[in-house]
Structure 1
Amino acid sequence: MRKYLLTSVLLAVTFCALGQDLRCNISVNAAQIQGTYRQAFQTLQTALYEFMNNRSWSNNVYSVDERIECNFLINITEQVGPNEYKGTLQVQSRRPIFGSSYSTVLFNFNDNDVQFSYQEFDKLEFNENSYGSALTSLLAYYAYVVIGLDYDSFSPKGGNEYFKKAEKIVSNAQTASEKGWKPYESSHKNRYWLIENILNPKYSAVRNASYTYHRLGLDQMASKISEGRDEVTNGLLSIQKVFRDKPDPYLFLLKIFFDAKSDELVNVYSEAYASEKQRIYQILSEIDQANEPKYKKITEEKKNI
């Protein structure tokens, strides 16, 4: 009987572990906060790691190797009251490319509107149906965005379920005192506008382009480099159409895409034909003018040493 119970427990633990979605590296940097009990921030980091990695964010079953890789860096810059802090959050997520050891960046975003309360050993709780904790709502929001972007890269609009969950967190936070959740804050570049753009039908071609770019493009390039690169180009052409239609003057979702992809695009086209390089440079310099100097490298001839 004891052996049977032990086996049952082990099976239960294994099943729970397989249900977890994220492999999240999370860091809390509080170097700018002086004269405070430092151990509290280490305790916070450990608690946040467990909150992100031990929770099942979806109903899907993952092996350890299949979990979505992401990094969260909380940089605490100011203490504004007893146990009340302000700072920033850098979020990056990656996805492996089929048939290679390469991982591509899906999301690379810096949130400058972080504010939360924390006292050492506070229990981190999250409820999808209400806004309780600023800190856990923030992390849950980005967990769902990260998962949604990952799913979008494997199937057309595959991340809808998770983006809707992130949208619900935003809706619940409309009466919150913390910044970043409301449409009139942060010059249309905050959590509200990120999820609004993702779910806005006017930007649907950008989401479809993610599938084309990743699943039909990069995932093919290990075995069919030219065919895969052609699909990456098709994804960029879809994004170019959105840029020209200009669904809003900020084009926030396009900035999010190119913040993750600009360096990679230079590498993708480094071995293309000269005519293709020139065409891609024209497309990219139009739709992502901020990174035009970077894209100029695509057209430069490599010098033999």
Structure 2
Amino acid sequence: MKKFFTAVLIIFAFAIQGNTQELRCNVTVSARGIQGANQNLFRTMQSDLYEFMNNRKWTEHVYSYDEKIRCNILIRLDEQISADEFKGSIQVQLTRPIYNSSYTSTVLNIKDNDFHCKYVEFQPLEFNETSNRDNLTNIMAYYAYVILGFDYDTFSEEGGTEFFQKAQSIVNNSQNARERGWKAFESERNRYWLIENVMNKSYSSFRTCMYNYHRLGLDMMSERVEEGRANVANSLRDIQKVFRRRPSTYILQMFFDAKADELVNIFSKSYPDERNRVMAILNEVDPSNGSKYEKIAENEGL
């Protein structure tokens, strides 16, 4: 009898592991800008979105708890159009643990100002991959797949393609949506252009950079600092290729929004020749953060 219960427990444990979801996503909904609003509504919304992101299976892969992808979503609601319709922004952050260290690297830090949704308290959130019936779940699912795509890209070359394709399908299905954020003509930096840039073969060196920067660069630095740092430096040449092809590409802004401070920290501890090469690239491709990159030349770690 004891062996029977032991076997049942083992099977149960494997069943739980097999159904473990991929995301460890912290979701915050803030509606402080909406005067007189029922704050209980937004607390329920936050709870529902947390469940939607964390309790749904987004892939066919098996994850242990420690392997879950860590991300944060902050939704700021600034305008209440009707009893169940809201406008605001959504900020999405993805972090990645670095091999054999306690350090986590920011992979994504996106702010999307075209957040427009309907939400009815206690009504189940439904997502349909083939329609644009619910803009709220479309946005959340879109960013879930973007998070997965970028995370997988940092562990294997173009490993996130299947998830980027799913995000692109959501964009395609949303071309008739009345809400902003899905169409090319509405902005040069929105959900449409994010996924277009990532999937555009003309900018494929961006995805090469994401792999080389993280897997061959940061992951190597815990054991071979100089070699790993050199690989990070070399990966910036791929970013330079994208810049020289199209300087205003949205993914360039995304990259440096996530990486500018980290690059300063990495190369402030580098050799003069390497620092000079890196600064030359950074000042060309990201002049808006030039004052930050001056710290590299000072040879002072942050």
TM-score, length-scaled by structure 1:
0.93
In structure 1, the partner of 2:90 is 89
Gaps of 5+ in 1: none
Q: Distance in 1 between matches of 2:194 and 2:289?
A: 21
In structure 1, the partner of 2:220 is 220
Q: Equivalent pairs: percent with the same residue?
A: 50
Q: Distance in 2 between matches of 1:120 and 1:184?
A: 33
In structure 2, the partner of 1:54 is 55
Q: Distance in 1 between matches of 2:291 and 2:300?
A: 16
Q: Distance in 2 between matches of 1:86 and 1:28?
A: 12
The CA RMSD over aligned residues, in Å, is 2.0
In structure 2, the partner of 1:14 is 16
2:77 partner letter: I
Residues 1:104 and 2:105 are matched in the alignment: yes
2:270–2:299 Cα contact (<8 Å) kept: no
Q: CA deviation at 1:250?
A: 2.1
The change in CA–CA distance for 1:221 and 1:11 in structure 2 (over 3 A counts) is closer
> Post-superposition, which runs of at least 4 consecutive aligned residues in structure 1 deviate over 3 A?
1-13
The change in CA–CA distance for 1:54 and 1:13 in structure 2 (over 3 A counts) is farther
Q: CA deviation at 1:61?
A: 0.4
Give per-residue Cα distances to partners, 1:119-171, cap 9 Å, x unaligned. 11111011111112111100000000010000110111110000000000000
In structure 1, the partner of 2:132 is 131
1:164 partner letter: Q
In structure 1, the partner of 2:241 is 241
Q: CA deviation at 1:16?
A: 5.2
1:190 partner letter: N
Q: Distance in 1 between matches of 2:221 and 2:11?
A: 44
Residues 1:270 and 2:241 are matched in the alignment: no
Q: Distance in 1 between matches of 2:11 and 2:80?
A: 44
2:34 partner letter: I
Q: Distance in 2 between matches of 1:66 and 1:294?
A: 33
2:256–2:286 Cα contact (<8 Å) kept: yes
- How many residues align structurally? 299
In structure 2, the partner of 1:167 is 168
Counterpart of 2:184 in 1: which secondary structure? coil
Give per-residue Cα distances to partners, 1:223-261, cap 9 Å, x unaligned. 100100111011001111221222xx5211111111110
Q: Distance in 2 between matches of 1:301 and 1:22?
A: 38
1:268 partner letter: I
2:198–2:207 Cα contact (<8 Å) kept: yes
Moved more, 85-94 or 275-284: 275-284
Give per-residue Cα distances to partners, 1:6-49, cap 9 Å, x unaligned. 7599447614542x110000000011112222211111111111
Q: Distance in 1 between matches of 2:134 and 2:7?
A: 37
2:39 partner letter: R
Q: Distance in 1 between matches of 2:256 and 2:100?
A: 24
In structure 1, the partner of 2:123 is 122
2:17–2:63 Cα contact (<8 Å) kept: no
Q: Distance in 2 between matches of 1:41 and 1:16?
A: 32
Q: Distance in 2 between matches of 1:177 and 1:155?
A: 37
In structure 2, the partner of 1:33 is 34
2:17–2:64 Cα contact (<8 Å) kept: no
